[in-house]
Amino acid sequence: MGVEFTKEDHVAYITLNRPDAMNSLDPESVTKLAEIWAAVQNDDDIRVSVLTGAGEKSFCTGTDMKKTPPPAECMASIWLREGQPIVPHMKMWKPIICAINGYAVGGGMEMALACDLRIASSNAKFGLTEVKVASLAGLNGTQCMPRAIPQAVAMKMLLTGEMIDAKEAHRVGLISDVVEPGELMDLAKKLALRIASNAPLSVKAAKQAAVMGLEMPLEHGIAFSHLLWGVLRDTEDRKEGFTAFAEKRAPEWKGR
């Protein structure tokens, strides 16, 4: 199967599973991935997702360039449709951890950029290589890379199409952690469970405030964040969080 999906302890695990083709995205995988993101979005039991690739060579090398069919519909109808199917950026307030187990290239790099946490194995390589194949990092790469890392490094990656290794990616802040390949999923799971143990509405609000606030002047961002705090103030979970603290016990979240 092109993409696998499992769920455990409030965490969705999504695995791109075409290792022989470096987990590149063929049309079936794109459809499947869109269905999975919709399922994650609609399942209140899921609080956080981990996105990774099968094997130890590659997370994802973007579009499957050998299986890209001629366009099935005109660009206008695609462009004017709501949302992007494979990159849930800005539409998904549940956090996504990208566990990059090798190449994150082209559309694969862009999917990683749409995630909230990026962790990688020491053999990972990162590149927006679309210029090498007469295309464009048009999912989000031209916009998100210069926002994710220093502009000079982002422009070098965008214009040369050259890759950087995990050490350099860590140095410039493209990823938060580098571990040995065998340790990557353990770390992803540990982070996911830590996030899933927090109050689900607070986690979503924190992501919404941070992501949307980035595009606002600071004063507006702070006002928006205060509003979100007010939205959370009267939830059952906030009362439960404070009571559990006072009673020295673990809280039980209801998500309301």
Q: Which residues contact ligand LSS4RXG7 (rule: CB under 6 A)?
A: 21-22, 24, 61-66, 103, 105-107, 129-130, 132-133, 135, 138-139
Rg (CA), the chain: 19
Q: Which helix (H) or strand (E) holds 165?
A: strand 164-165
Question: Which residue, 67 or 207, is less far from ligand LSS4RXG7 as judged by CB?
Answer: 67
Helices of type H across the chain:
27-42, 75-79, 107-113, 141-148, 151-160, 166-172, 184-196, 200-213, 218-233, 236-246
8 in catalytic set = no
Q: How far is the CB of 12 from ligand LSS4RXG7 (least distance, A)?
A: 23
Structure tokens at 99: 């566990």
Q: Which of 8, 73, 130, 219 is catalytic?
A: 130
DSSP 3-state assignment of 48?
strand
Q: Which of 73, 110, 162, 168 is catalytic?
A: 110
Question: Which residue, 88 or 95, is less far from ligand LSS4RXG7 as judged by CB?
Answer: 88
Q: How far is the CB of 163 from ligand LSS4RXG7 (least distance, A)?
A: 8
Q: Which one, of 13, 21, 17, lies nearest residue 3 by Cα?
A: 17
130 in catalytic set = yes
CA separation for the pair 217, 234 (Å, rounded): 27
Q: How far is the CB of 149 from ligand LSS4RXG7 (least distance, A)?
A: 19
Question: Which residue, 23 or 235, is less far from ligand LSS4RXG7 as judged by CB?
Answer: 23
Question: Which residue, 60 or 205, is less far from ligand LSS4RXG7 as judged by CB?
Answer: 60
The residue number whose beta carbon is nearest to ligand LSS4RXG7 equals 62
Q: Which one, of 192, 191, 56, lies nearest residue 125 by Cα?
A: 56
Cβ density class 169-183: b for 16+ within 10 Å, e for less: bbebebbebbbebee
Q: How many CB atoms lie within 10 A of CB 129?
A: 23
> How many Å separate Cα 90 from the centre of its chain?
10
Q: How far is the CB of 106 from ligand LSS4RXG7 (least distance, A)?
A: 2
Q: How far is the CB of 78 from ligand LSS4RXG7 (least distance, A)?
A: 10
Phi and psi, residue 239, nearest 5°: -60, -45
Question: Which residue, 25 or 192, is less far from ligand LSS4RXG7 as judged by CB?
Answer: 25
The residues assigned a catalytic role are 110, 130
